[in-house]
Amino acid sequence: MSNSEKQVTTEKLSREQVAAFLQKDPNFFLEYQYLLEVLAVPHPSGAAVSLVERQSSLLKDKNKMLTVHLSDLCDAARHNDTQFEKTKRMVLALLDAQTLDDLGDALEESLCRDFYGDATSLILFADNQLTVNNRRMMPREMAGIVEPLMLSCEPSCGNLSAAENHFLFEGRSSLIQSAAVIPLVQGETIGLLGIGSYDADYFQSSQGTMFLSYVGEVLSRVASRILQQPSDRPD
């Protein structure tokens, strides 16, 4: 690189130098057409704005809006890809579960690690009582306090009563500020899944429940299969 070239690259160009360069290279904008999108080229027409200038301004504004919209679409696509991968990992872990312990571990790992819940509670209805970590088995009659949450067979989100919170999350109930409750239905209600958060706004009654319904459908099928295995029936 010559000394003159180094000087041009290191010093700020004057308006006259830019004008002289463009005069020597009239085809410059043919190669760098994208610059035309950001240049302001007025068309003198007295006090009025020329039609060409107005059209140019509208096209630039539209181009900016489309660029922002495209960026939003790309962000949404990346978010959806991430959510899909998390959901796939959870479903595969649930399908691989061979025991109720496996099921409880898969739920705790996925819902608390990938989906940022703070606690899970899996309750399954059976003749006898059994409590192991985040899962419990009990007769349906003992779940009367949460019966209203199971009547519609649809997930519900929001703030639970103190009694509902304590029934679902026991020792951690004082920390749970909002929760999602998913009835598990396989012909009949076989249990429910609770997902708790320490954030009062994490689960809200107005939010969509499509993902939660999907989790409930998969979990219901897997839990029903495991419950029917003689080795996993309570004594």
Q: Are 183 and 58 in contact (CB under 8 A)?
A: no
| pLDDT score of 175 more than 60 | yes
- Side chain identity at residue 89, one-letter code: R
- H or E segment and range at residue 178: strand 178-186
Q: Are 155 and 216 in contact (CB under 8 A)?
A: yes
- Condensed to tens digits (0 to 9), the pLDDT of residues 154-172 reads 999 999 999 999 999 998 9
Break the chain into its structural domains and give their ranges. 14-96, 98-232
Mean predicted lDDT score pLDDT of the chain: 84
Q: How far is residue 136's CA from residue 5's CA, in Å, rounded to a whole number?
A: 77
- Condensed to tens digits (0 to 9), the pLDDT of residues 177-233 reads 999 999 999 989 999 999 999 999 999 988 889 999 999 999 999 999 998 876 544
Q: How far is residue 152's CA from residue 130's CA, in Å, rounded to a whole number?
A: 26
Q: What are 125's strand-pairing partners?
A: 138
Domain range 98-232, CATH architecture: 2-Layer Sandwich (3.30)
